[in-house]
């Protein structure tokens, strides 16, 4: 369960970077011809055909998990954010909000003061954790808004899936320090090695705060997490919107999971037990796991929970403590899990801190300087063209009955589109930031965000709110608002270039737009109507037909093995794979519509359709470390980039028409009757 239930876009699985030995030759119309590998056959590996030249020379920077388009764009944005921050240091008469940005950044950048302070800024919090004596005390500490350390259950406030105009408290399984339950349960050589490194990391975390018998205590914490992992739901099940929607009153929650001090937990989080005079209703996610996790909580000695929380605290605040804490944390989470040799430089981490904690204040300055009005207008026009193409497709879809078709069209017409930045900016006036208190500033920012959500818990949902900051290189679809959102950060080259050839823009940002629209009609988004209500609006026969088609797509992806012994999980990645495929097909239709019946020009020997598909494939060029790929295969709902190209185009009739030399003998060729056709 996510803090904001959104289907994130194409780039959230890859924040990567690129380095090259020579400047690439980019055509004036936007395609990188130097990246092509003419020796590769499109039908054997279209991803390599489009990117093989780049793959041969690209190197992964030591501070990144990989190299590729995502961080080309992210790095450009990071430099822009740092330039904005630098400008704050040269200007007089800053606004109160701008002063907070500068003070938080300066507090982070003052490494000398951070080192001189040592562990002193954390001593009070650590002493409080050490003083816990009862399980009620433990639940209280897990709920504190200024720390939000979490525990075996996560809690957040979001729109109610069946009553999306109202906020509701949502609860889900949690408690794992590794990325996914599979890290505790699988016996692959690499996973076993990661587990052993994690156990050492737990001991080191306790040692860093002068704990005695650190290894034995760390072993107890690991065993606790392992017990939770055993009873937790798998990631593929957790993304099922209906399975994780289990509303109940707090008294019923107490009966479902009696081993956990719910009253204490809610009290210290600021959640009142009543709403509008009746018992408050909450939504429980992994309902069958809750009683088992609650029993584990009750059966675990308080000292083990103290160590659990101490480790959580050290991990959460390591970036704001002396270097030895941050280096130790990075050694596991950066190097072991991602394969990175070194951290990002401190100014970049400082810019990310501001984006994470006061992102709309920073984003306001970003869009004022780097996002022109003409870009917003052109992207909006592209979105309208994609929506038009979707409408035409729905009207002629052969496998859908008129009843379901009418409801689908109604939903499409009710889409909300947000481009660039929010109409209303977040108010940070109550957030306290001090230049000389970095840990305190971060705690204040954590509490500010929780309290901001808490204050509106019984109010109508704010549908103007954004779930990403403007500089974010990503996009998303939000089921409960039925909206597609495109932050300014993703609206840049190579995904979008106002001066580029239309074929390239439709293959780039057009496929992104199509991807997000398609999330409204993927295996989960299709469970919500145009008003954002989760309900069955399909004719049963249509739903059965759709499920059969998507199952066939999941089965295709199950066969792909990016790393030896680890296949793509077709169920976990199904929503994203549907959006990739449907988004590309619709983007291609929109491109054809944009031609107005005319033939596209042939540029450098490439037809418009060929440029469209090559732009799509080049948007996924990447080289990723095995450690990062492994982590994503086990926990991330996105397929690895090569399969987001090859796994998609092989199901697209338009691709075969664009590249007629693809034959049945080619590796990724699919016979027409085997291709999955959705929209």
Domains and CATH numbers, the chain: 6-80+372-421+471-674 (3.40.390.10), 120-320 (1.10.1380.10)
Cα dihedral 144/145/151/153 (nearest 10) = 120
Q: Which residues pair with 478 in a beta bridge?
A: 6, 483
**CA distance linking residue 593 with residue 600, whole number of Å:** 11
Coarse DSSP helix, strand, coil percentages of the chain, rounded to the nearest 5 percent: 55, 10, 40
Phi/psi of residue 59, each to 5°?
-120, 145
Give the three-state DSSP class for 282: strand
Integer-rounded Cα radius of gyration of the chain: 25
Which residue in the block uniquely carries the two structure tokens 């900016």?
A: 425
pTM: 0.94
Cα dihedral 605/611/613/616 (nearest 10) = 140
Angle (deg, nearest 10), helices 540-558 and 641-649? 120
**CA distance linking residue 519 with residue 475, whole number of Å:** 11
501: Cβ contacts below 8 Å, ≥ 6 apart: 29, 30, 31, 603, 608, 611
Which residue in the block uniquely carries the two structure tokens 């809610």?
A: 266
Which residue in the block uniquely carries the two structure tokens 């418009």?
A: 608
**CA distance linking residue 144 with residue 140, whole number of Å:** 6
Residue 452, CB-side half-sphere exposure with 13 Å CA sphere: 16
Structure tokens, 386: 């994609």
DSSP, res 209 = T
Task: Provide the phi-psi class of 68: left if phi over 0, else alpha when psi is between -120 and 50, else beta.
Answer: left
**CA distance linking residue 324 with residue 425, whole number of Å:** 37
Name residues of the chain where pLDDT drops below 50. 1-6, 9-25
The answer to whether 1 and 285 are in contact (CB under 8 A) is: yes
Residue 277 CB neighbours (<10 A)? 5
Would you state the pLDDT for residue 26?
55
Determine the straight-line distance between the first and last CA of the chain, rounded to whole angstroms: 27
Which residue in the block uniquely carries the two structure tokens 């739903």?
A: 543
């Amino acid at each position: 369960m996510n803090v904001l239930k959104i289907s994130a876009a194409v780039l959230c699985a890859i924040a990567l970077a690129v380095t090259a030995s020579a400047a690439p030759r980019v055509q004036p119309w936007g395609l990188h011809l130097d990246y092509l590998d003419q020796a590769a056959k499109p039908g054997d590996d279209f991803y390599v055909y489009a990117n093989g030249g780049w793959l041969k020379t690209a190197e992964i920077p030591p501070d990144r998990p990989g190299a590729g388009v995502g961080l080309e764009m992210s790095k450009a944005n990071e430099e822009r954010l740092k330039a904005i921050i630098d400008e704050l240091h040269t200007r007089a008469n800053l606004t109160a909000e701008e002063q907070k940005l500068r003070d938080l950044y300066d507090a982070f950048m003052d490494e000398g003061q951070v080192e001189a302070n040592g562990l002193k800024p954390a001593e009070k919090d650590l002493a409080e954790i050490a003083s816990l004596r009862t399980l009620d005390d433990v639940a209280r500490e897990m709920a504190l808004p200024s720390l939000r350390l979490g525990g075996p259950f996560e809690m957040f406030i979001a729109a109610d899936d069946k009553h999306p105009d109202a906020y509701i408290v949502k609860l889900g399984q949690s408690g794992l320090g590794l990325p996914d339950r599979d890290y505790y349960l699988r016996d692959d050589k690499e996973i076993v090695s990661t587990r052993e490194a994690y156990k050492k990391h737990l001991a080191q975390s306790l040692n860093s705060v002068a704990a005695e018998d650190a290894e034995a205590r760390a072993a107890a914490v690991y065993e606790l997490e392992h017990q939770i992992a055993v009873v937790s739901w798998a990631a593929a099940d957790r993304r099922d919107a209906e399975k994780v929607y289990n509303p109940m009153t707090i008294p019923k929650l107490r009966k479902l999971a009696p081993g956990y001090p719910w009253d204490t937990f809610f009290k210290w989080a600021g959640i009142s037990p009543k709403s509008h005079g009746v018992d408050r209703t909450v939504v429980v996610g992994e309902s069958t796991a809750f009683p088992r996790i609650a029993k584990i909580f009750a059966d675990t000695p308080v000292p083990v929970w103290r160590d659990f929380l101490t480790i959580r605290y050290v991990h959460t605040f390591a970036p704001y403590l002396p270097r030895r804490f941050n280096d130790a944390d990075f050694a596991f989470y950066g190097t072991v899990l991602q394969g990175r040799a070194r951290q990002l430089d401190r100014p970049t981490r400082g810019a990310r801190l501001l984006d994470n904690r006061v992102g709309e204040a920073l984003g306001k300055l970003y869009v004022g300087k780097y996002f022109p009005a003409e870009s917003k207008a052109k992207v909006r026009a592209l979105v309208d063209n994609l929506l038009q193409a979707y409408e035409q497709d729905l009207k002629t879809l052969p496998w859908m009955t008129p009843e379901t078709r009418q409801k689908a069209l109604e939903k499409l017409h009710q889409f909300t589109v947000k481009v660039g930045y929010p109409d209303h900016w977040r108010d940070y006036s109550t957030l306290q930031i001090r230049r000389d208190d970095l840990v305190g500033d971060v705690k204040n920012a954590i509490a500010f965000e929780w309290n901001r959500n808490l204050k509106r818990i019984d109010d109508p949902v704010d549908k103007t709110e954004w779930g990403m900051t403007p500089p974010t290189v990503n996009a998303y679809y939000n089921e409960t608002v039925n909206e597609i959102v495109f932050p300014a950060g993703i609206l840049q080259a190579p995904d979008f270039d106002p001066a580029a050839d239309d074929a390239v823009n439709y293959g780039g940002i057009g496929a992104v737009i199509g991807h997000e629209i398609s999330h409204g009609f993927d295996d989960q988004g299709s469970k919500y109507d145009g008003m954002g209500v989760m309900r069955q609006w399909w004719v049963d026969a249509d739903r059965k037909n759709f499920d059969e088609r998507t199952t066939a797509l999941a089965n295709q992806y199950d066969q792909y093995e990016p790393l030896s012994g680890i296949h793509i999980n077709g169920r976990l990645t199904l929503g994203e794979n549907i959006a990739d495929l449907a988004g590309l097909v619709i983007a291609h239709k929109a491109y054809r519509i944009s031609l107005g019946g005319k033939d596209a020009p042939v540029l450098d020997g490439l037809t418009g359709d060929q440029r469209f598909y090559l732009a799509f494939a080049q948007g996924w060029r990447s080289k990723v470390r095995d450690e990062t790929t492994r982590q994503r295969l086990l926990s991330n709902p996105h397929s690895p980039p090569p399969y987001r190209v090859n796994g998609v185009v092989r199901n697209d009739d338009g691709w075969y028409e664009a590249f007629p030399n693809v034959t049945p003998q080619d590796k990724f060729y699919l016979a027409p009757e085997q291709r999955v056709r959705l929209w």
